[in-house]
Amino acid sequence: MIVDINTLLAWGGVYKQVASGDFVFQEGGTAVFYYQLVSGSIRWANINEEGREFLQVMIEPGESFGELPLLDGQPYAASAIANEDSIVIRLQKDVFLNLLRDHPAIHLEFSKLMIERIRFKFYVIKELAQHDPEHCISRLFAYFKQRKKNICPECNRIKLTRQQIADMTGMRVETVIRTIRNLHKKGQLMIDKGKVYC
């Protein structure tokens, strides 16, 4: 968790319910809040003119999202959409910036999260640019497993759907399905009742 919920509430944070499929904010909008997911699931994605999504990151409870405009004053770089009914806590932008100034340890954790997301983008771009789909997907799953992100820590089940993997990598969903099936045949992944395990 980036910021303790009690700290956010003490500084004036407010809970907000978001229904499945609803936008928390849209790409190009102006940021007025810091957002942190309490429960549910949020995807941070760019949507092109045809309605196709490019998934930037899946947000898990305890993580913040939509941080870039808080620091650079520019519009949102992507949209945040609820994957399921979710609860977020939000804090006014100016109050959040004061919170960071007053709590260097929180500022450091916030900075670490930003760096982790930048490293993930470098990783994905490098893997997509240099390798075939099997290599890209197996390396992506290895990355998730190592960082305990988008994967169940108890059973190693991938939490992302095949469509979300396609949206994250820019591949067609058919390519992802075929690639996962091939990795299963090679013994690099396990598929059980449609669920993928690494």
List, in sequence order, every beta strand (DSSP E) within the chain: 14-18, 23-25, 33-39, 42-47, 53-59, 64-65, 79-82, 86-92, 190-192, 195-197
For residue 165, give the 3-state DSSP assignment: helix
Please state whether the predicted TM-score (pTM) of the whole model is above 0.95. Answer: no
Q: Is residue 127 part of a domain?
A: no
Tell me whether residue 180 is in a domain.
yes
Residue-number span of the structural domain to which 167 is assigned:
132-197
The answer to whether residues 108 and 139 belong to one domain is no
pLDDT digits (tens, 9 = 90+) for 50-91: 888 889 989 999 999 998 899 899 999 999 999 999 999 999
Q: What is the pLDDT of residue 1?
A: 63
- Asked if residue 13 and residue 77 are part of one domain, the reply reads yes
The CATH number covering residue 66 comes to: 2.60.120.10
In the chain, which stretches have pLDDT less than 50?
Answer: none
Tell whether 109 and 137 lie within a shared domain.
no
Q: What CA–CA distance (Å, rounded) separates 43 from 161?
A: 12
At 175, which CATH number? 1.10.10.10
